[in-house]
Amino acid sequence: MLIDETATLRKTILKMAYNANSVHIGCAFSIVEIVHTLYSKFIDIEKLKGRSKNRDYLCLSKGHGVMAVYANLLELGVLTDNDINNYFKDGSSLTGLADSHVPGIEVSGGSLGQGITVATGIAMSKKIDGLDSKTFCIVGDGELNEGSAWESIMIASHRQLKNFILIIDANSFQAMGRCESVLNMESFKAKFEAFNFEVQECDGHNQNDLENSISSLINSKSNKPKALVARTIKGKGVSFMEDENIWHYTRLDQDTYNKALSELM
């Protein structure tokens, strides 16, 4: 890969955050490889651009990580440099949370636990309509503190939504601290298996591992919904941001921006 490509994506994220004086850098960095792998290996981009009814959906339930999606959509030609340059500014359609008015953004997110409910409904609709396309949904591990998420997980299992692929960004943090301290939800693998999901775990920053794990789930003959526990690092790619929760809300100044960029060159 792909290292050069993910470095480019992270530089775009930094540029957006710095120019807009915005936050949520760490939680965008943790899903860069996940989003890139989905778009480059599994989602038909022409169907996405054409809004085909039978397109694969990528639903970002952890909507605060949306800069990672914007950066990928720029590389795919869905968004423009002008879109990126106006991120988070007055009048821009690109906001700090996922908004379905933006081309390529399927589901509005930000109120945690809600995006997964919409994604479950999309997957159910596809099954009713006899469509074979996939519904991918990215949730945060902290987001799974929300009861509404587990209601959706129960529905997906009960309805045997085999083309529903839930990807957990397991970076071990949420806004106010480490997940294990706020509300420990591990083991995710055991929990999802108990809910009758087919489950895999992988390194969420290794794109070969991601591709193999997602392919295995997609090609499974099981009627179960699928879950991938992607072990990630918040702030991945910039040494002083990695595993540092302050980069959930910290803004970049000129010095930290230049220092971060230098690590991605």
What ranges make up the beta strands (E) of the chain? 57-60, 135-140, 164-170, 173-174, 177-178, 198-203, 226-231
Query: Domain 5-264 in CATH: superfamily?
Result: Thiamin diphosphate (ThDP)-binding fold, Pyr/PP domains (3.40.50.970)
- Coil vs helix vs strand at 173: strand
How many Å apart are CA 12 and CA 114, to the nearest integer? 27
Tell me the Cα Rg of the chain. Answer: 17
Domain ranges of the chain: 5-264
- Local confidence pLDDT in tens for the 265 residues of the chain: 346 899 999 999 999 999 999 999 999 999 999 999 999 999 999 999 999 999 999 999 999 999 999 999 999 999 999 999 999 999 999 999 999 999 999 999 889 999 999 999 999 999 999 999 999 999 999 999 999 999 999 999 999 999 999 999 999 999 888 989 999 999 999 999 999 999 999 999 999 999 999 999 999 999 999 999 999 999 999 999 999 999 999 999 999 999 999 999 8
pLDDT for the residue 3: 62
CB 165 within 8 Å of CB 217: yes
How many Å apart are CA 105 and CA 259, to the nearest integer? 31
How many Å apart are CA 142 and CA 175, to the nearest integer? 8
How many Å apart are CA 60 and CA 136, to the nearest integer? 8
β-strand pairing of 173-174 with 177-178: antiparallel
Query: Which DSSP symbol is given to 241?
Result: T
pTM for this structure? 0.96
Residue 140 pairs in a beta bridge with 169
- Coil vs helix vs strand at 115: helix
pLDDT tens track for 49-105: 999 999 999 999 999 999 999 999 999 999 999 999 999 999 999 999 999 999 999
